[in-house]
Amino acid sequence: MVAIVVASLLWGTTGTASALAPSVGAVTVGAAAMGVGGLLQIVFSRRALYRDRAVLSARYRLVTFGGACVAVYPLAFYSSMRIGGVALGCVVSLASAPLASAVIERLCDGRALTRQWALACGFGIGGSVLLSLSRHSDSGGAHSATLGVVLGLAAGGSYAGYSWAMRRLMDDGTSRGASAAAVLGLGGILLMPVFVATAGSAVVTYPGIVVIAYLAVLPMFLGYVLFSYGLARVGATSATTVTLVEPAAATVLSVVILHETVGAVGWVGVALIAAALVVLTLPGVSPRSGRAANKLGRQPHDAVGSPRCADVPTSR
């Protein structure tokens, strides 16, 4: 849980960092940061990828699904904020991720949803809404709300999708490093053509290079190393709920570094997100890990009669 929180704190720096290079487009920043970060995952975990190549080949559909979700996420997320407005894009994208993750795990793995998770999710979503409205209530301009909502839902769903794919690969016997490198690395490969197509002269300027390098190495590479570490021990639904701490971190940084103002409503949002983390860390909230499930003599994430969306073997 702590590893996921630290990853979320790193992700919370992306907005402040990208603001330091305003001449670089949002889609370009997203494609470059997540694309390069994914390629670094391949380099970092190349031995694990080679060791688990047979397992990954047998689960190529799951890897492909996760990689496609990784490629969709930054494009949908930044486009949602650009088209629908920052407040709407942040709220829909961040709030829909834990809900989408819960639906995926319910339909594909037969995982029951607890009242404690619902309470934590409600706190987290409510806090995210208040934070976004507090920080961006003055943002104007003509935006398409409908298209912004659709793109925001695509961002939340794709984030939940690749989080679930990585966790499912781990549960099916793939190592943590290989699971993260396969999914994030494939997404990085798919994103590089987008970066090349949208990159302009602003990318090669001093602010552009520094910002993209920082985003790729720390939030997108190190952040996902920590996230995958936590994801191996925490269910995807709880993990995506914990990452709602990201807007709280972004708010604090915007106040300290960018000197933005946050009213009482925004700080109430921070308090609600903190309450969500407290609820999630209470005993009995976190889904049982695959290792604990195996001690009971059954495959993780399986329920009697539950459908398995990914047609992959479960033998270890």
pTM for the model stands at 0.79
135-144, 181-190, 221-230: lowest mean pLDDT where?
135-144
Does residue 9 or residue 247 have the better pLDDT?
9
Mean predicted confidence (pLDDT) in 89-95: 73
Domain ranges of the chain: 2-284
132-136, 194-198, 249-253, 297-301: lowest mean pLDDT where?
297-301
Mean predicted confidence (pLDDT) in 19-39: 88
Q: DSSP letters of the chain?
A: -HHHHHHHHHHTTHHHHHHT-TTS-HHHHHHHHHHHHHHHHHHHTHHHHHHTHHHHHHTHHHHHHHHHHHHHHHHHHHHHHHHH-HHHHHHHHHHHHHHHHHHHHHHHH-PPPPHHHHHHHHHHHHHHHHHHHHHHTT--S---HHHHHHHHHHHHHHHHHHHHHHHHHHHTT--HHHHHHHHHHHHHHHHHHHHHHH--GGGGSHHHHHHHHHHIIIIIIIHHHHHHHHHTTS-HHHHHHHTTHHHHHHHHHHHHTS-----HHHHHHHHHHHHHHHHHTSTT-SPPPHHHHHHTTS-TT--TT---SS------
Q: What is the mean pLDDT of the chain?
A: 80
Q: Could you report the per-residue pLDDT of 179-202, keeping only the tens digit for each? A: 999 999 999 999 999 999 998 887
46-60, 75-89, 145-159: lowest mean pLDDT where?
75-89
Whole-number percent of the chain with pLDDT over 90 = 37
Mean predicted confidence (pLDDT) in 297-313: 36
pLDDT at 303: 32
115-124, 271-280, 304-313: lowest mean pLDDT where?
304-313
146-160, 252-266, 280-294: lowest mean pLDDT where?
280-294
Mean predicted confidence (pLDDT) in 235-245: 83
pLDDT at 204: 82
- Judge whether residue 218 has pLDDT over 90: yes
